[in-house]
Amino acid sequence: MKIIKQLCIPFFILSVATTVSAADKDFEDLRSDNVSSDWRLSKNDKRHDIKVFIKNEEGKSIRSFRVEAAFDAPIETVARVQGDVENYIKWYFEVLEVKLLRKVSDREYIFYMVHDAPVGMPDRDVVLKATIEPMTSHKPFIVVKMNALPDFIPAKAPYVRMQAENYVIKISPISKERTLLEAEGYIDPGGVAPSWAVNFVQGKGPYTNMMGMRRMVELPQYRNAKTPLPYAFFE
């Protein structure tokens, strides 16, 4: 599968409690340089159909990650959750604020998020541009590309502006009532942040967000919605 150049599910998907409770093996792995430049399975939750992979990228101290998750929901339901920007706060872990800044078109929007950072680190904010490539009769999946726009609006103290939260999401129907979401990417949190801590988030964050998406697709406001989709996910 060829998608997905870079995904970043928000950096600050990590609370202090999560950090403290992590197994020693996790920290040893995160500090190690032995992770292959090929994708390595980091977490395999067979019960919830979620897999997380990590790999080293040449010239980067922060690893890339990929996540795959299957949901018992139609593709339209998953797309509806993905397009409901201002409700990301309900399922993106450690997001403090979300605001839609501009709907550029039916296939492009720009939004702002604030991520809660662990104690001792300033919170981060980011501006992201989403570009949608709709599902068509010749392309049986949706692609959503996210790219950071660090200079779109002025940085606001006390936040540190993220320089990259770039990722791509591919949403494909498995069947009429089941959907596969795949995402891959990389982040640059800006400011000072130890790479091992960011790498820890890269491993834990995608899984947490997929569990959040799993919860959201069960809500009647998405599953039973009769209103038009907010963006052109289908052509």
Domain ranges of the chain: 16-223
The predicted model gives 63-86 an average pLDDT of 95
Q: How many other C-beta atoms lie within 10 A of the C-beta of residue 166?
A: 20
Under 8 Å CB-to-CB from 151, ≥6 apart: which residues? Answer: none
Q: How confident is the model at residue 34 (pLDDT cuts 50, 70, 90)?
A: low
69/46 Cα distance (integer angstroms): 10
State the Cα angle at 130 between 107 and 84, rounded to 5°: 80
* pLDDT for position 189: 83
Has domain 16-223 been given CATH number 3.30.530.20?
A: yes
Q: How confident is the model at residue 201 (pLDDT cuts 50, 70, 90)?
A: low
Tell me whether the omega of the peptide bond preceding residue 158 falls within 30 degrees of 0, making it cis. yes
What is the overall mean pLDDT for the chain? 84
208/50 Cα distance (integer angstroms): 10
pTM: 0.81
Q: How confident is the model at residue 120 (pLDDT cuts 50, 70, 90)?
A: confident
125/60 Cα distance (integer angstroms): 22
* pLDDT for position 26: 43
* pLDDT for position 220: 97
Closest CA to 125 of 91, 155, 99: 155
Q: What is the CA radius of gyration of the chain?
A: 17
